[in-house]
Amino acid sequence: MEPTTVQPHILVVDGMNFLHRARSGWKLGPAPVVFNFMRTFRALVEQFKPTRIYFVLEGDPKQRRDILPEYKANRQVEAGTPEHQELAKFFAQVGEITGLLARVFPVSVVRHPRYECDDTIYNLIKRSSSAINWTVVSNDSDFTQLLNEFGHVRVYNPMMKTFVTCPDWDYVSWKALRGDGSDNIPGIPGVGDKGAEQYVNDPDLLQELLADPVAGAIFERNYELIKFIEWSDADALEMLSSAPRKDWEQLRETFVKYEFKSLLKESTWDKFTATFDHLWG
């Protein structure tokens, strides 16, 4: 009998999106985010059984701030507040997690210093073979535009535990009309979700709306902010990528340090490491 050929399947995780999810769940001990992350990340890999994993982090969105200085300004937290202190604790644990992923897991931790996570994911897919299937894990709706462009990509929302459905209309145009409050991008006044869908489904109606100078300028600006930025070859060379090596003992030491007793049980530990072992070349 001939050996079974494993179909290549790449799992790419929106890193900060997934890390923020780990803030909910188990709350005890000095590193609850680390504990929650390790449990949910292992379960995710077990669910999809990829042949390669990318864990993508954020770069500086200067190019978008040049277009709209207020871009994502709504996410800033005032120093000295309880929320700021809580974020500091969170990011300390984020550093522990991403460091472990980059050093000892069979995961490519990647980041481009000048582009956001979604741009990096877009360019990883754009520059790969269309014969390879990709699963993007994020509850950021901007990844819907991948479905408009690529037939070999699916987007999984880990909060809803469902795959995102590709709309019949152009996602970027729709969002450019109604804006994006989460990124502090104002839409065209008076245009909401349903109105935006009507416009993108009726080219004549859309053209009439955008003939107004104010509405047209808002749409053009938002379109540039929302669409993914395609890299040049020089941009691609600036992407940073980890070079991990298999060292489960270092991970075990971390679990011991934080007293993750449930993860250190022999059966649980064996299951944990076995989930990732097939990914080592």
The three-class DSSP label of residue 136 is: strand
CA distance 158 to 178: 25
- C-beta of residue 51 within 8 angstroms of C-beta of residue 9: yes
**What domains are defined for the chain?**
9-168+229-274 (3.40.50.1010)
Residue 42 amino acid letter:
R
CA distance 174 to 172: 5
Q: What is the pLDDT of residue 1?
A: 46
pLDDT in tens, the chain (281 residues): 444 556 889 999 999 999 999 999 888 899 999 999 999 999 999 999 999 999 999 999 999 999 999 999 988 888 889 889 999 999 999 999 999 999 999 999 999 999 999 999 999 999 999 999 999 999 999 999 999 999 999 999 999 999 999 999 999 999 999 999 999 999 999 999 999 999 999 999 999 999 999 999 999 999 999 999 999 999 999 999 999 999 999 999 999 999 999 999 999 999 999 999 999 97
Q: What is the pLDDT of residue 67?
A: 97
Q: Which residues contact 207 (CB under 8 A, 6 or more apart)?
A: none
- C-beta of residue 268 within 8 angstroms of C-beta of residue 160: no
DSSP run (H or E) holding 264: helix 261-264
Which tokens hold the place of 141? Answer: 């709706």
Q: What is the pLDDT of residue 4?
A: 53
- C-beta of residue 101 within 8 angstroms of C-beta of residue 242: yes
CA distance 241 to 120: 12
Q: What is the pLDDT of residue 75?
A: 85
Long-range contacts of 178-184 (CB under 8 A, 24+ apart): 179/222, 180/142, 180/222, 180/226, 181/74, 182/74, 183/71, 183/72, 183/225, 184/68, 184/70, 184/71, 184/72, 184/73, 184/74, 184/75
Which tokens hold the place of 194? Answer: 């349903």
Q: Which residues contact 165 (CB under 8 A, 6 or more apart)?
A: 147
The three-class DSSP label of residue 221 is: helix
